[in-house]
Amino acid sequence: MDFTQFYYPDRFIGSIEDYEKADIVILGAPMDYTVSYKAGSREGAQSVRPASWAMETYSSRLDRDLEELKYFDLGDLVLNMGHAEHSCNIIENAISQILEDKKIPFTYGGEHLITWPIIKAFHEKYPDLVLIQLDAHADLREEFFGEAYSHATVMRKCAELIGPDNLFQVGIRSGPREEFEYGKKYTHFYPYRLEGAIEDINAFCKGKPVYITIDIDVLDPAYAPGTGTLEPNGVTSRELFDFFYSLKLDQVVGIDVVEISPYHDLSRMTSVMGCNLFRELALKFF
């Protein structure tokens, strides 16, 4: 049988067949039960995979091809639907195992709370971890509707774990005054724009392990309508990609892309954005 004649949409395009041989793994964390507005991001990873088959594996901008990388698509984690704490434990264990296997995880959400168990696992291995967050929202609340663990509190939890001085928050444009005050006081806080952060990030991250979390709603809804909590007045896709092209990071240890919600998408453009982020970021940093 000639398998190349079949389209294989339940795996990311270019995924190799053997986990052991992979340097990078793609996985989905299909959780969306603490979101405040529109649910649906549990199917984010499942929408990115078929979209990847319509994407060129060659990056003209970076003059590299995904064929140069060895990555394996694990599929989506089986989570304890509706139970955030159990689901976070499952995600943390999976990421710890991937790190133990000396592979780089590239995780698709899911809602932004998935970044909390991921950062817990990373912080075990890299105590000096730096976290770069691209997001419309600061996600710095102490609690949200009485819950300490939610997609609106996730960066507060991460800041408390790794130290707010190791958190860069870029593109933030929405939240209550208290979050903006906390951000300006304690984290590296770059609201509204991306380019102002570049030099500071490059200087601060020299020689350090860096994790990047991208909430797709950092983009203006015109560029990524398929997400749960839309915020107008955001950045363009070109500004977002140019930001990444300008970063000079020695050691990117992991990446996630969260809050893609395919039911709210238009023309699959947010899913297409999601798979393009893998290509450009993996080819740039790995």
Residue 45 tokens read as 């990873």
User: Which residues in this chain contact Mn ion in the complex, by CB under 5 A?
Assistant: 112, 135, 137, 139, 215
Give which of 85, 15, 30, 78 is closest to 260, Cα–Cα.
30
Nearest CB to Mn ion, comparing residues 73 and 265: 265
Nearest CB to Mn ion, comparing residues 43 and 217: 217
Q: Whole-number minimum distance, CB 102 to Mn ion, in Å?
A: 29
Nearest CB to Mn ion, comparing residues 12 and 116: 116
Query: Do residues 110 and 44 make contact, with C-beta atoms less than 8 angstroms apart?
Result: yes
Distance CA 277, CA 151 (A): 21
Q: Whole-number minimum distance, CB 179 to Mn ion, in Å?
A: 12
Q: Whole-number minimum distance, CB 206 to Mn ion, in Å?
A: 27
Nearest CB to Mn ion, comparing residues 215 and 220: 215
> What angle, rounded to 10 degrees, do the helices at 84-100 and 115-125 form?
40
Q: Whole-number minimum distance, CB 151 to Mn ion, in Å?
A: 6
- Strands annotated E in the chain: 24-29, 58-59, 64-65, 71-76, 104-109, 130-134, 167-172, 188-191, 209-215, 251-258
Nearest CB to Mn ion, comparing residues 55 and 138: 138
Per-residue DSSP letter, 118: H
Query: Do residues 37 and 231 make contact, with C-beta atoms less than 8 angstroms apart?
Result: no
Q: Whole-number minimum distance, CB 136 to Mn ion, in Å?
A: 7
